[in-house]
Chains A and B, each alone.
Chain A
Amino acid sequence: MLISLNWLREFIPFSGDAAELGGKLTMAGLEVEDISRPYAALRPIVTGLVVTCAKHPQADKLSVCRVDVGDEVLDIVCGAPNVAAGQKVAVVRAGSTLPTGLAVKKAKLRGAPSNGMICSEFELGLSDEHEGILVLPDSAVAGSSVFDALGLDDEILDISITPNRGDCLSVLGIAREAAALLRLPLRLPDFERHTHGADARAELSLETDHGLAPLYHGLVIENVKNAPSPGRLRYRLNAVGMRPISNVVDATNYVMLELGQPLHAFDLDRITDRTIRVRAADPGETLVTLDGKKRLLEASDITIRDGRGAVGLGGMMGGLNSEILPETRRVFLESAVFNPFNIRKTARRLNLHSEATFRFERGVDQGGATYALERAAHLLAGLSGGHVRPGLIKDHGRPRRKKRITLRRGFAQARIGTSVGMDDSFYEETLKSLGCEVEDISGGLREGEKNPAECWIVTPPSWRYDLTREVDLVEEVVRLYGVDRIPAALPGIARNLESAGLPETKTAFISRVKHWARGASLNEIITYSFTGSKDLEFLGLDASDAISLQNPLSDDLNVLRPHLAPGLLGALRNNLAQGAPFARLFETAAAFAADPSSETGASEQTRLGLILHGERRFRPWPDAAGDLDYSDIKGLIEHLMHFLSLPEADFVRAESLPWLSPAVDILLGAEKIGYVGRVKREIADRYLARKEVWSAEIDLDLLQTLHKKSGILFKSLPIFPPARRDITFIAPPGLRADSIRKTIEEIKGPMEIEARLIDCFEPQGKDERNLTFRLTFRRADRTLKDAEADKQRELIAEAVQKTLSVRM
């Protein structure tokens, strides 16, 4: 919110600058984000006195002027129709630049020399008015800056107001805070309250739903003449970001910015039936609002109605049928407080957010509504040449009951952690400076209270909707004391025996997996949890199974990914587009699935995702050439199992993953812990991959559970040396190599047998594979003889050929 320092000074006698005040406000919770001088560019523009003004001999529309600018008299040719001798005007000398950026140069206009320019409001950046020049008040001194003549030497503070401080959305609100912080007296603007004519209550009666509008007041202003507001008011509105419209509208906006009370002006002569009703809209009825839009109303909307029906949407926007027109003479000015929840609901539904709704949503002070109404009515009358009729038209429910809050000194001290510089009088004075009534009930008036001598009953002022509890008062005391003055202390966080020896946390487990991946030369990525339903469909997944967002940022990010694949593939594409020769990426993140048994309807599985593509070698030399393939990704998974002390996993062809071919399930005993596979050609193509893309996803939640059960178990070192023999089987293509290994290792006997594949050769032109295993035999009780090893090899050859369809 923009606050003018000059305006603020009308409420408090503050003589410092905006930076000083800004620092104080920021440290009290009203963060000043920026300080600006909106009219600083006008400083070099001087006041000139038009000494003579004559028609240009060669041009009808131009005047030749002699203008006294203090230290010299300039010849200036002026094109404005309203220029005249004796006027005080704003002059830019030749060689200077206008606030709009236009450079003014010495020139000859149809033979007449011109050494400057007499400016309009438009050229000064004050308004859109460029028909005529700006005529300054007579009090302006030739040669002085127009900056001073127009009272534009102002600083504007941009203050960020938190949602709990609706009371600070005005000059008055900020002035109250500043007064409390700087211990300055606060004075409200004084104004003449002349009324004229008969009691206005005879004109209009009210029927108000107090639930929707706890307070509804109005005054009638007559003889209004709609016109632009005077400069001073317009410049001030402009400086705080409010566009001047006309005297009637400007007066209501001015008072809203000043006092925080939104106001609305109706054309009284366009209200029928002499009655205004404030009640809920009839569902389905329509109202054309001031912006020309036809609004379909619902029962939660607040309507202002006359005999015909709705003439305004309470707290939001007036109706076109009661709008102030250029010919409006009689105004009904409304000052009301509407129910914040209804306002918020309607504003959100109609996407109709305004300065008024912003304030009503955050709470408008009922105690200030009448003062603001009178202030606005008399300002409006003054600006428009009209007069205020006597008689306040009012209807309100029971005034809000004032909250009485007990504040215990002991409680406050324990929360703050210090009492230094905070004696009883500090508490009392601080709260009083904020407008609270403070009643000392020390002396044991209350039974059962531990520390009766240190209690107060505090009644917050009507504008502080946020002060309802003891802690809220503690905050006020701390805020004005200064949080930075509280000494720092470290808490002793209590450990207990129950917290010892607990299982590893999920965070710690995932962290270990990440560090493993880093060690395994994988680069960690983090990608969005969202993806597009189209991306899922492209992978062959049914997007309607995925959890979708009701209000996505875009269609590309409208569902939660059921697999990490879209993110992994997207990351691969980004790198291939950059010309990376290879990528070995990993991510740990949640995969989301619909789950009716969950309270959110969603379940999340933390996964490790891997994606490999491109050259295997890190350097062209001395590493051997070759592309990353199945053995690389499988090796990583085997390595991870080993790292986590888990048994060897089984890799089994799967059918279920539409974007992978081949797709392979990773099994640990009976549990499926994930899958691995090659991304289908046409999908890889779309992600710019020209080589094979291998990807895997592993369920880390399950892996952690399995890991908790596993551990390192030491096996004694063998005493006797082993014997080794090699054996080669010729196998048909479909036969899994590890079925041979398992068959060998399952052979029972006094010998320990281990079989390891040492070569896999596919002879050209033959549909079979030669699989060579190295057999290691060992006895625990003695060294093996050669003949025994040879015999065991024969046994194995027989057994395998009998069990599997292989030959030697």
Chain B
Amino acid sequence: MNLIAELEKLLSGLHADLPGVSSLAGLDELQTVYLGRKGALARLMGRLPELSPADRPAFGKAANAVKEEMVSLFAQRRKVYQTQAEDAGLARFDPSLPGRLPGQGTLHPVTLVMEEICRILVNLGFETVNGPEVETDFNNFQALNFPPDHPARDMQDTFFVREGVVMRTHTSPMQVRAMLEKGKPPVAVIAPGKVYRRDSDMTHSPMFHQIEGLLVDENVSLAHLRGTLTFFLRELFGPQVKVRFRPSFFPFTEPSLEVDMSCILCKGTGQRVIGRGGKEPCRVCKSSGWLEILGAGMVDPAVFTAVGFDPECSGFAFGLGVERVAMLKYGIDDLRNFFESDLRFLKQFI
């Protein structure tokens, strides 16, 4: 005997050893020495059979008390060391170091604009359709009232694939395809896509993007065309945009209209303020205050006849160039940027 005295010796031994420990690792080591499976306390408790059965409960009780005390001592110490270690880590923590990027891709500005335009028009009730870029002369021209050998064909420089087959020069053949497919009114479609013209310079690309719109229904009027396109342009460029409709000519609409909107740079004044009180002519609208943005018109009866609709049908159609809208919206000044795939350009359009 005296095992209980040994227990107390063990406890005071721990009290003596603890101040000598200087790290969390040392503490772990010491904890194993005292409280481990084969540690000092366990060894002492293993000697229980040495005691008479009458003494055993007292020893057990004392051993438990000592264990609790030891566990609590280690816990207190651990807390101190953990706090110290954490504080030491905090001192080294540098919030200014760069983060690890998950990687951010980008969409092409043409895609961004095209999706926005489609969203506006789909919300108005139009349905999106797609079609081929290599197109028949019939769909691209003849059904749209461009007779063979007619000066109107000079309006669009055409790439020819073979006799009667062209690269579509506009998305308008989708009007023909949509009407042929639906068979009868109502038809309310938009057709986004690539188009091709044999033209390449600062302001023309041989490939670009258009969105076509077509509504054929009962009693569709010019008033509806004005309403739809005004609504559309305000959604796209903001409620302050003014819209102007001018008569023009497209073979597949009658009347045909050019739609201008107030210049977004000079707000339709034709002049830009530079410096204090100084003014210069607006280069975007060439001082006119207006920008051509859409071509539109009431569907020509010849088109209805070509697709087997009643020529007394009513409907309107419109089309716009996507790159032009993107240039205006984002202030892009060179068309060539769109097709050069330069990441320094692409990464600006998140």
Contacts and interface: CB of A to CB of B under 8 A. Distances in A.
Interface stretch (A79-87, A411-419, A663-671): A411-419
Given A361-B151, A490-B231, A529-B207, A518 B107 contact: yes
Interface in B122-152: 124-130, 132-136, 149-152
Interface stretch (A7-15, A114-122, A533-541, A583-591): A583-591
Contact of B249 (A162, A414, A469, A604): A162
Interface stretch (A438-446, A548-556, A773-781): A548-556
A163 B257 contact: no
B276 interface: no
A298 interface: no
Interface stretch (B5-13, B69-77, B214-222): B214-222
Interface string A469-504: 101101100110001101111110111000100000
Interface stretch (A192-200, A237-245, A506-514, A755-763): A506-514
A415 B314 contact: yes
B248 A527 contact: no
B115 interface: yes
Nearest to B160: A550
Given A471-B254, A521-B104, A493 B247 contact: no
Size range of the chain A interface in the assembly = 35 or more
Given A484-B245, A491-B224, A515 B107 contact: yes
Contacts of B246: 26-27, 29, 31, 483
Contact of B206 (A29, A361, A553): A553
Contact of B151 (A163, A519, A574): A163
A622 B100 contact: yes
B37 interface: no
B341 A414 contact: no
B247 A28 contact: yes
A520 B110 contact: no
Contact of B154 (A163, A164, A507, A600): A163
A570 B130 contact: no
Contact of A528 (B248, B339, B343): B339
Contacts, number: 248
Most buried by B among A31, A415, A505: A415
B186 A479 contact: no
Contact of A486 (B220, B223, B301): B223
Contact of A417 (B151, B223, B340): B223
Nearest to B97: A622
Nearest to B292: A31
Contacts of B198: 551, 553
Most buried by B among A491, A515, A590: A491
A407 to B, nearest CB: 14
Contacts of B99: 622
B327 to A, nearest CB: 14
B152 to A, nearest CB: 5
A163 B149 contact: no
A263 interface: no
A549 B167 contact: yes
A344 B149 contact: yes
Interface in A691-725: none
Nearest to B206: A553
Given A517-B105, A525-B108, A602 B165 contact: yes
Interface string A250-274: 0000000000000000000000000
Contact of A493 (B100, B125, B346): B125
A511 B114 CA distance: 10
Contacts of A547: 134, 161
B275 interface: no
A345 interface: yes
Contacts of B155: 163
A121 to B, nearest CB: 32
Nearest to B200: A553
B283 interface: no
B272 interface: no
Contacts of B255: 471, 474-475, 478-479, 483
Contacts of A583: 343
A601 B247 contact: no
Interface string B228-239: 101100000000
A602 B162 CA distance: 11
B81 interface: no
Interface string A582-608: 011110011010000001111010000
A682 to B, nearest CB: 23
A189 to B, nearest CB: 28
Contact of A574 (B110, B159, B341): B341
A571 interface: yes
A548 B165 CA distance: 11
A287 B248 CA distance: 40
A601 B160 CA distance: 13
Interface string A27-49: 11101000000000000000000
Contact of B258 (A31, A415, A602): A31
B339 A519 contact: no
Contact of B100 (A515, A549, A623): A623
A414 B221 contact: yes
A526 interface: yes
Contact of A523 (B133, B226, B298, B347): B347
Interface stretch (B46-54, B188-196, B261-269): B188-196
Interface string A298-341: 00000000000000000000000000000000000000000011
Contacts of A491: 215, 217, 220, 224, 227-228
Contact of A601 (B106, B118, B165, B342): B165
B186 A600 contact: no
B338 interface: yes
A525 B108 CA distance: 6
A273 to B, nearest CB: 33
Contacts of A490: 124, 224, 227-228, 231
A522 interface: yes
A499 to B, nearest CB: 7
Nearest to A583: B343
A281 interface: no
Given A517-B105, A521-B102, A524-B105, A580 B339 contact: no
A574 B342 contact: yes
A236 interface: no
A530 interface: yes
Most buried by A among B99, B136, B341: B341
Contacts of A517: 105
25 contacts: A29-B248, A164-B152, A414-B221, A416-B221, A475-B255, A475-B256, A479-B247, A489-B226, A489-B227, A493-B126, A493-B215, A511-B115, A525-B346, A548-B161, A550-B159, A584-B103, A600-B135, A602-B134, A602-B161, A602-B165, A618-B101, A619-B101, A622-B97, A622-B98, A622-B100
Interface of A: 26-29, 31, 162-165, 340-341, 344-345, 361-362, 414-418, 469, 471-472, 474-475, 478-479, 483-484, 486-491, 493-495, 499, 505-508, 511, 514-515, 517-530, 547-553, 557, 560, 570-571, 574-575, 578, 580, 583-586, 589-590, 592, 599-602, 604, 618-619, 621-623
Given A474-B255, A489-B226, A601-B161, 10 more contacts: A29-B249, A165-B249, A345-B149, A362-B151, A478-B247, A493-B217, A507-B192, A518-B106, A523-B343, A526-B111
The 7 closest A-B pairs by CB, nearest first: A521-B103, A417-B223, A417-B221, A493-B125, A29-B247, A162-B249, A571-B341
